[in-house]
């Protein structure tokens, strides 16, 4: 069965960025997350959408402004 929720460390590997940057993006709300108890998880679908939204180097927020 394919995972629906990813750990921040798995997102780090997918995006090829540092651990601190992933947590910074989660804290700012740039990257949507789900809290399961004390754990943060990122929906695979949300991550794929975030990647699509940022393909050209612009976030949704920048496009909406």
pLDDT surpassing 60 at residue 21: yes
Our count of domains for the chain comes to: 1
d(CA 3, CA 1): 7
Residue pLDDT, tens place only, 28-63:
999 999 999 999 999 999 999 999 999 887 655 555
Tell me the H-state helices in the chain: 8-15, 19-28, 44-53, 60-64
Is 3 in contact with 43 (CB distance < 8 Å)?
no
Identify the pLDDT of residue 62: 52
Q: What is the pLDDT of residue 61?
A: 54
Which CA distances in Å does 14 have to 9, 37, 41, 47?
9, 24, 14, 10
pTM of the predicted protein model: 0.77
Containing structural domain, residue 16: 5-64
């Amino acid at each position: 069965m394919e995972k629906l929720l990813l750990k921040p460390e798995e997102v780090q590997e997918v995006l090829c960025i540092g651990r601190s940057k992933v947590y910074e993006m989660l804290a700012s709300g740039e990257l949507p997350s789900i809290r399961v108890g004390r754990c943060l998880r990122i929906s695979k679908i949300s991550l794929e959408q975030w990647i699509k939204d940022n393909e050209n180097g612009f976030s949704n927020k920048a496009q909406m402004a």
